[in-house]
Structure formats: C-alpha cells, structure tokens
C-alpha cells in the first residue's frame, strides 16, 4: 500500500496541447492562444527553434548571461543580460 501511494505521488500530470496549423507563404505559423497563454508567451518574446530530420521543437528562450550563460541574478543592459557574478568581474 505504501509503495502504491508513493507511485501515485510521483505521477506528474502533464497538459499537452496539440494543434494543426498551416504554414503561410512567408513560412509563418500561428501559435494558438491557449498555448501562448499556457507558456506565458507575449509579443516580442524570443523563441528558440531546433529541427532535426523529423521534427521541429520551439521553446521559449531563457534569458542568459552573455558571458557565462547563467540564468540567475541577471541584469539587463540594452536587451542583453549579464549575471551579477560577471558584472562584478567586469567592474573589478
């Protein structure tokens, strides 16, 4: 019983959104409103697009330090991000 309860707790509920979209003549697709809302995608956000022989993956790009790729303690300067650690090194 304990093992069963542990397995139940470990189950993660994943909401999957699927759509069929047509590519327009300029190669664009529309990301549906429900997906944009779910991922908090807003106009101007940067997306990272990867492709292999069979599939295209689109991810919301994370803000990263331009020097070390850290995603924590970032400060923005003219659209670029620098982490506190690198900022400290730059100032010394």
Query: Which region, judged by CB under 5 A, interacts with Zn ion, from 25-33, 44-52, 54-62, 66-74?
Result: 66-74
Q: How far is the CB of 56 from Zn ion (least distance, A)?
A: 30
Strand segments, DSSP code E, in the chain are 47-51, 56-60, 74-77, 80-83
> Residue length, the chain?
92
Of these, 36, 58, 64, 67, which contacts Zn ion (CB under 5 A)?
67
Comparing CB distances to Zn ion, the nearer of 60 and 89 is: 89
Tell me how far apart the alpha carbons of residues 47 and 58 are, in angstroms, rounded to a whole number. 6
Q: Does 74 bind Zn ion (CB under 5 A)?
A: no
């Amino acid at each position: 019983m304990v093992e069963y309860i542990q397995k139940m707790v470990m189950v993660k509920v994943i909401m999957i959104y699927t759509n069929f979209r047509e590519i327009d003549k300029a190669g664009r697709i529309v990301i549906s409103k429900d997906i944009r809302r779910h991922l908090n995608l807003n106009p101007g956000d940067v997306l990272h697009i990867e492709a292999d022989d069979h599939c295209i993956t689109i991810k919301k790009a994370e803000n990263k330090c331009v020097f070390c790729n850290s995603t924590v303690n970032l400060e923005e300067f003219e659209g670029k991000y620098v982490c506190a650690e690198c900022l400290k090194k730059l100032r010394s």
